[in-house]
Amino acid sequence: DAGVTQSPTHLIKTRGQQVTLRCSPKSGHDTVSWYQQALGQGPQFIFQYYEEEERQRGNFPDRFSGHQFPNYSSELNVNALLLGDSALYLCASSRGAAGRQPQHFGDGTRLSIL
Amino acid sequence: KNEVEQSPQNLTAQEGEFITINCSYSVGISALHWLQQHPGGGIVSLFMLSSGKKKHGRLIATINIQEKHSSLHITASHPRDSAVYICGLEWAGSYQLTFGKGTKLSVIP
């Protein structure tokens, strides 16, 4: 039973470019959340997708956008990259419409902006 | 403002010691999560609890809703327990998790 898989594992971009990160949730999970983790900090919530809709969004600018596909996989897109976007991007999946569900995390995508 | 505080920030222990990591928060929550993050970034969910106490192997998590406080205990610590332990909160009426900065634990043989 595959867990949460993220791709790519590492990525290097330059300022102003655009990036797309991908996440496949754990089998049986239908909810995907994205987090940004800067070095030495806890993860920060970007947004959550359920039933192909953005259900909740954290305090991130519109440069951060996402999508969920009918097979529950998800993408995170970041436009006009800034140096401060360098971070580990984590995807977490869970099951069901309600909260209070265990979260299963992927290993993350490490994004470096030059 | 919804805040979560973890203590200590860093913890070094001798193998075999009993370890306690604390998490305090400011407003009502629907659930609290304890996570473990190893070097390289992978995160493992250890516990999700909304009341009382849970135990899994050498790990014990407790929560006191009235005092807005949770603790993660590790009994008979081992060097493989070395990791960052993160407390994450689900606020009432919200789907997002708000995380603390984490506690970096190093267990020395």
Residue A84 touches chain B, beta carbons under 8 Å: no
Residues of chain A with pLDDT under 70: 1, 97-99
Helix, strand or coil for residue B75?
Answer: coil
Kindly give the residue spans of alpha helices, DSSP state H, lying in A1-114: none
- Interchain contact, A42 vs B102, CB within 8 Å: yes
pLDDT, residue B29, reads 87
pLDDT, residue A98, reads 63
pLDDT, residue B106, reads 97
Residue A102 touches chain B, beta carbons under 8 Å: yes
Residue A65 touches chain B, beta carbons under 8 Å: no
Pairing between β-strand B103-108 and β-strand B10-14 as defined by DSSP bridges: parallel
Identify any residues that bridge with A76 across adjacent strands, giving them in sequence order: A21, A66
What is the maximal distance between C-alpha atoms in chain A?
Answer: 40
Do residues A82 and A113 lie in contact, with contact meaning Cβ atoms separated by under 8 Å? yes
Write the single-letter amino acid at B72.
Answer: L
Residue B45 touches chain A, beta carbons under 8 Å: yes
Average pLDDT of each block of 10 consecutive residues along chain B (109 residues)? Answer: 85 97 91 91 90 96 95 97 95 87 96
Question: CA-to-CA distance for A7 and A24, rounded, in angstroms?
Answer: 9
pLDDT, residue A97, reads 63
- Interchain contact, A105 vs B86, CB within 8 Å: no
List pLDDT tens digits, range A79-89: 999 999 999 99
Number of continuous H segments (helices) and E segments (strands) in chain A: 0, 11
